[in-house]
Amino acid sequence: DIVMTQSPDSLAVSLGERATINCKSSQSLLYSSNNKNYLGWYQQKPGQPPKLLIYWASTRESGVPDRFSGSGSGTDFTLTISSLQAEDVAVYYCQQYFNDPYSFGQGTKLGIK
Amino acid sequence: QLQLQESGPGLVKPSETLSLTCTVSGGSISSSNYYWGWIRQPPGKGLEWIGNIYYRGNTYYNPSLKSRVTISVDTSKNQFSLKLSPVTAADTAVYYCARTEVVSVAAPYDSWGQGTLVTVSS
């Protein structure tokens, strides 16, 4: 099974500053036949379901603000929020969909400093 | 606009069967473009994939739960269902139903229900 490990577990950033969350997989998520990384990022606010932000490691879901970006390939990935807004306070999860069983990182709790 | 809604008992006794249904509206569960899945989240913890189903009945389960899980689909009602048996306190969680696109390997979940809390307790 693929293990997903996020860092840090929690993070506090000032409004308007950059926030960076890392995700590492125990094996490569790069599918050689299409050169895509099978990695997604979700945002979960209290009492709400997860919301898909990024898929294929770097493609923004429709309607997601462009301050959210994803990068990385293989086993190391990053979610960046370029300028933190108050509404971005949430827990963020990465998920691999390369191999069944699909697995999630443990989550990173993002708050305001 | 696609909506998914979970329903079922909020309290289940240990050793019994957890049964939930997800009703899909605003779209057809019989679309060849999507799988339908269940994911759970214990209180204050992370997300665990339970399994997926295709409208034709093809199922894919997490091996850690496979011996206890059954996912089924009822295309006439635009619903799919989850059964987990027998349950223990460790199965207490918010259960989400969600949709994922059919692609060459797999895809993330792009639409989710609001979730329903199931507590396992006597």
Rounded CA gap, A78 and B88, in Å?
Answer: 36
Report pLDDT for B70.
98
Mean pLDDT of B9-13: 98
| Helix, strand, coil percentages for chain B (3-state, nearest 5) | 0, 50, 45
Residues B118/B12, Cβ–Cβ less than 8 Å: yes
Report pLDDT for B106.
87
Report pLDDT for A67.
98
Closest Cα to residue A81, out of A6, A11, A3? Answer: A11
CB contact under 8 A, A100 and B106: yes
CB contact under 8 A, B106 and A97: yes
A59, pLDDT greater than 90: yes
Instruction: Assign A48 to helix, strand or coil.
Output: coil
Residues comprising chain A, all counted: 113
A70 touches chain B (CB under 8 A): no
B104, pLDDT greater than 80: no
Closest Cα to residue B48, out of B67, B63, B28? Answer: B63
Q: What is the pLDDT of residues B45-75, one digit of tens each?
A: 999 999 999 999 999 999 999 999 999 999 9
Mean pLDDT of A42-71: 98
Portion of chain B with pLDDT greater than 90, in percent: 96
Report pLDDT for B103.
76
Residues B96/B112, Cβ–Cβ less than 8 Å: yes
Report pLDDT for B60.
95
A62, pLDDT greater than 80: yes
